[in-house]
Structures are given as structure tokens and as C-alpha cells.
Structure 1
């Protein structure tokens, strides 16, 4: 594959994690208002995993992986999907989809801090500005009166924070772990194993399971879009990018995701966009920009070599 082909693939992959993932907040919010959260996420990921395996076999791609690779995909599936995504879906019952996306936009800040505490990577001056702005932005976002007034919103907000920690740690883990070389196979195993764990979580919490035929039309459509685009297309793109570029560059999807999610939530679900939310978004995303300046990324790249 030529350099231009690789560049085109990287651009398409970034489009998938920028725009498609931005829309998944809306789709999950629609579905979780009718279906139990862990059952919903489990159905999504098990179905997506099986479809990926079927597509891989039809293309003549071997599904054989080593025991170490299997173990690593299980760890990634649990951290990214069972906890990192499943609990966010659960939290969407208590917070707006746009709010959840804005809170998760602090992801690069979490990755930067984890790289500092776990890997001893120095935080550069420009990034320190970003960390400072990120903390102010998060404070403005979560200190809004209508959120503090609702106890359930605070619980949802705290659980999303733990999901961010899980996702950030796993991003660093995956960038160095021994995983299947084929991104399609890698995604399939993560989806399938993550979905199985979610099913066990669902049964453990006593969630009622229903047939897709009993779901409303809008939930059925949301699930199809989540499985095909949100899971197969976007997550395969995500795994590809984690190997093709640095974790901090992949985390820049958080510039676009919250804007897409806010607009879709406002347009389709009449979610309120407050002036404080807009201010928090502007400060938070400016902070993320400082964290991901070219100079900072060049330093990260030097550390990676």
C-alpha cells in the first residue's frame, strides 16, 4: 500500500472517529430510554463482533490468534467496551447526551496525566496551560445548578469520569500491547469478548431481556446504526489509528465529538444548550488544543521512539 493510500486511510479513519462517534451519544440515548443499558450494549457489541468475524472469514482473513493476543483483546474489550462504553450508556439515563460528550472531551487531559503518573513522561509548559484550562472547563461544566440539583445527574457524571479513566488507560495499553495484526480481527475479538462480559453484567444486575422485534422502530434503527457504523466502522478505525498514529492524536476526536453530540441532542431530543455549557466547551476544547499542539506532539513522538 502506497503512502498516499495510507494517508487516505488515516483521513477516513479520523472522519469515522470524529463524526460517527459524535452521533453515537444520540443513538445510545434514544435506545437506553427504552432498553436496559447493559443489555443494549451487550447486544450491540456481540452482534458487531460476530458480523466482523463473518466478514473476515468471507474475505479469507484468518481468525487465529495467540493466547497472549486473546488475553490482551479481552483486557481491551473489558476496559474499552464493557466498562468504558457500557457504563457510559448506563449514565446516559441520567445525563443529557451532549453533556456526556462534553465531559468525555477531557479525555486528552486524562491521557496526559496518566502518561505522567504511569510512564513518567514530563508535562510540557504548553500542556500545563491545557491542563489548567481543562480543569476550569470541567468545573464550569459540572457546577451548573440544574446538574447539582439532581442527585442522579451527579452519579451519572461521576461514573462517566471513571469510564474516561478506563478508556484512557486502555488507549495507552493498546498502543504497546501484542494484539492481532489485522485491525478487523482485533476489533472483532474486542467487541465479542466485551459484549460477553456486558451480558454477564446485565444478568448480574437482573436486567430483563426482550426480542428486537418488540423494540420500537426508532430503537431498532438506532441499534442498526450503532452496530454497523458506531461499532464496526468507527471502532475498527479507532484500533487502526492507535497503531498508525500516537494515542494523543487519536484523542483529538474529542474536539469534534462533543460539538456533533450537542447539536444532534439539541435538534433531535430538544436538549438544552446553556450559556455556561458553551463557555465550558470553549475553555475545555481550548485546553485540549494546547495539550495537542504540534510542539507537544513532537515531544510525545520523541518519547515513543
Structure 2
């Protein structure tokens, strides 16, 4: 049985948001150790938008956009990138990259709750079980004394959770909004507007700017990876998937992202992986599985 081109595209897009995005926590952690957070995000997304626009023109794609689409891409750019990503980068100044990825793995739970509140979507019994497990996993994760005792750790944890709400709402908004049909064009405009808003925030907060030649080699390579892989490839894949599959399925990238982030943070940055974090990850990801499974929960009859 032959596999359609669309199926292959969807599989490759899932690979991008699963694996590539898992590595961006490490790259952002490396970059934020030397550069201001909003500066990093602004450079990343404005540069990536320019690359994607060039690719779209090379492929002879129509990059025209209506006034309504400008408004919608700006809203999406703010929800996903200006707030949803920019503040996470800021939080990485205080939170380990693996820990941040684990916390964000609860995103499907947030998406489900928002879809219930906004779209009145019914929640299945399996999903209710997933929500309970998700909250237990989050509690186990953030209740570790050695983490809470660190300076500004709690602030970082809270801000990441707020970013999850922004990203989850953005996923629902994009699924229904009038946006450019071409994934390249849609992504480019979101990154352009999101990046410009991050640039504005960078100047508002008085962040110091410097030439790339003054950065360390590790930071230079981290920014290259964030621009080309994390933004140009993975975010384009993300927007493509939001138009092809449901928001809950797209959110399943959180199965793989934290595992990759944990391993890279441990291997490259010597971040600690505690037993409680492993248990929390197991419970949390099990909850995510229950939230996204389509199986019906049917109690067995006695004696059957």
C-alpha cells in the first residue's frame, strides 16, 4: 500500500516538532546564559521570518496578505512567540532546560481545559483520568524542595505556566482563524510580527545589544540552530499541522520534547535529573496519553 505525499508531509512535520523542538530548550539555555532573553527571541524570529520569506519567493508562493490576516497573524505571533516563547526564554535564566520542558509537557492538559471552556467540548472519561494524572505529575514536579529553594525558581515556574496558557489558546485560535493558506507565508508573518514585538520589549526593558562577533562560539551556534531548525523548519511544521490535524494531536509533541530536553540538559549542561522528576515525568506523560487517546473507557462486568 503506497503512502500518500500528504501522509509523509505530516509524519515529517511531527518529527520536526517532536525532536527539533526538544533540542531548542538546550539551545535557548546556552544562549540566555550570555545574552538577554528578549534580544535572543527577537533575533531568532525576525531572522527566521526573512529566511522563510525568501524561501516562499523562491518557490514562487504568493506572499500577499489581507488586512484581516495581518491582524490574525499578529495575534498568533504574540500568543506563540512574543509571550508564549519570549517569556519562556526569560524563565530559563532561573529554571533548568529539562525542568522547563517537563512543565510544558502539561500543555495538552491546558489545551483540553481551554477547549472545554471556550468551545464547550465534551471531556471523555479517559481525558478526565488524564487531567487528574496531569495535575498529580505537575505537583510532583514543582514540589521538589531543592528546586523551590533556588532563587526566582517559583517565579520562573509560574511564568512558564502562564506561557502554556498563551500557547494553548494560540493553538485553538489558529485552528479557526483566517490566515494565509500557505504554511511558509503564514509562519513568516507570525514570526515577523512576533519578532518585532519582542524587539520592542527588548528596548523597553533596556536590554544590551552587541554584535554577533562578540558572542562566544557556543552562543553563535545556538542562535544558528534556533533560527534554522527551531524556527524555520519546526515552526513551519507546527503551523502546517494545526491546519491538518486537531490541536490535541499537535500538542502530543510534549511526549518526546521533555525526554530529549532532559537528556541533552543532563549530557551537555550537567543538569540534575532527580528520581522525583522521573516519577513526575512518568505520571505527567501518562496523563497526556490518556488525554489524547481515542479509546473508550468501558468498565468490565463482574465475572466476565
TM superposition score normalised by structure 2: 0.96
Q: Which consecutive unaligned segments of at least 5 residues does structure 2 have?
A: 297-304
Matched, 1:226 2:226: yes
Contact 2:242-2:250 within 8 A present in 1 as well: yes
Question: Which residue of 2 is the match for residue 34 of structure 1?
Answer: 34
1:49-87 deviation line (CA, Å, top 9, x unaligned): 011111111221121011111110000000000000000
Counterpart in the other structure of 2:166: 166
> Which residue does 1:184 correspond to in 2?
184
Q: Does 1:73 align with 2:73?
A: yes
Report deviation, 1:128: 0.4
- Give the secondary-structure state (helix, strand or coil) at the position aligned to 2:179: coil
Higher mean C-alpha displacement, 134-143 vs 59-68: 59-68
Q: Over aligned residue pairs, what C-alpha RMSD do you find?
A: 1.0
1:151 Cα deviation after fit: 3.8
Paired residue secondary structure (1:113) = helix
1:9 aligns with 2:9: yes
Q: CA deviation at 1:121?
A: 1.0
1:239 matched to 2:259? The reply is: no
User: Comparing 138-147 with 58-67, which one deviates more in the overlay?
Assistant: 58-67
Q: How far off its partner does 1:170 sit?
A: 0.5
- 1:122 deviates by 1.5
Tell me the equivalent position of 1:117: 117
Q: What is the CA-CA distance between 1:294 and the residue it aligns to?
A: 2.0
SS of residue paired to 2:256: helix
Deviation at 1:295, TM superposition (A): 3.2
User: Which consecutive residues of structure 1, in runs of 5 or more, have no partner in the other structure?
Assistant: 297-305
Q: Find the counterpart in structure 1 of residue 155 from structure 2.
A: 155
Aligned residues: 295
2:211 paired with 1:211: yes
Partner of 2:134: 134
Q: Could you say which residue in structure 1 is the equivalent of 2:251?
A: 251
CA distance, structure 2, for counterparts of residue 30 and residue 225 of structure 1: 11
Q: Deviations over 1:74-104 (max 9, x none)?
A: 0000000000000000000000000000000
Higher helix share: 1
Q: Distance in 1 between matches of 2:122 and 2:154?
A: 32
TM-score for the superposition, normalised by structure 1:
0.95
Aligned to 1:301: none
Runs of 4+ in 1 over 6 A off after TM superposition: none
Q: Secondary structure at the match of 1:35?
A: coil
Cα distance in 2, alignment partners of residues 134 and 67 from structure 1: 40
Corresponding position of 1:285: 285
Structure 1 residue 3 displacement after superposition: 6.3
CA contact (8 A) 2:94 2:151 kept: no
User: What SS does the corresponding residue of 1:294 show, helix, strand or coil?
Assistant: coil
Task: Measure, in 2, the Cα distance between the counterparts of 1:237 and 1:243.
Answer: 10
